[in-house]
Amino acid sequence: MPETRLTTSSYLVLGIIDQLGEASPYDVKIEAARTVAPFWAVPHAQVYAQCDRLLAAGLLSEVRQEGGRNRRVMRLTEPGAEALAGWLADSAFVPVEARERGILKLWFGARPEVHAPTQIEEHARALGEYEGLAESVGGLITRGQREALEFGIRYERMMVEFWQWVAGRASE
């Protein structure tokens, strides 16, 4: 069997199934939306495609639940667990691609005074959501989850400050 090239989305699926113990593609989609979507969005169709790829590669096993909708439930195989562990242990740096649409618009000549107020408002809203989440979960999340949440807080804070700077320069 040829080796399957694993992507970050592949590891996202492996990681969620590992944390849940077993999951259907739908469970993975719901858990991704509930947990990692703010900093790593994955389209629903990609979740299903990744599950199929990982199953074909032998990194997941599948059983069909009896009765009802005959739902398929997957678990990590030993090679799947090894692949996930290897990825988690890999400290290699991969540059971030921010993909901020507002920044791209600025680059191509969008008017800062038009875009900055909306960007400030939306990033401040997201910041408030992250801060509220951090307050509500307290010690109920793992250290890594708390650190990921702190990334979201710091990122949104930085974006609010950046767009305030842009707005201030627009009046110059």
8-89 folds as Arc Repressor Mutant, subunit A (1.10.10)
**Residue 2 confidence class, pLDDT cut points 50, 70, 90:** low
List phi, psi (to 5°) of 28: -65, -45
| pLDDT for the residue numbered 154 | 96
Per DSSP (E only), the strands in 28-104 are 60-64, 72-76
| pLDDT for the residue numbered 94 | 86
Neighbours of 25 (CB within 10 A): 21
Enter the tokens of residue 128: 């408030």
- pLDDT tens per residue, range 157-171: 999 999 999 999 967
Average pLDDT over residues 64-71: 76
Q: Is the pLDDT of residue 1 over 60?
A: no
Enter the tokens of residue 48: 């299903």
Top mean-pLDDT range of 3-7, 132-136, 160-164: 160-164
**Count of alpha carbons within 13 Å of 137, Cβ hemisphere only?**
16
Q: For residues 144 and 35, is the Cβ–Cβ distance under 8 A?
A: no
DSSP letter assigned to residue 23: B
Reported pTM: 0.79
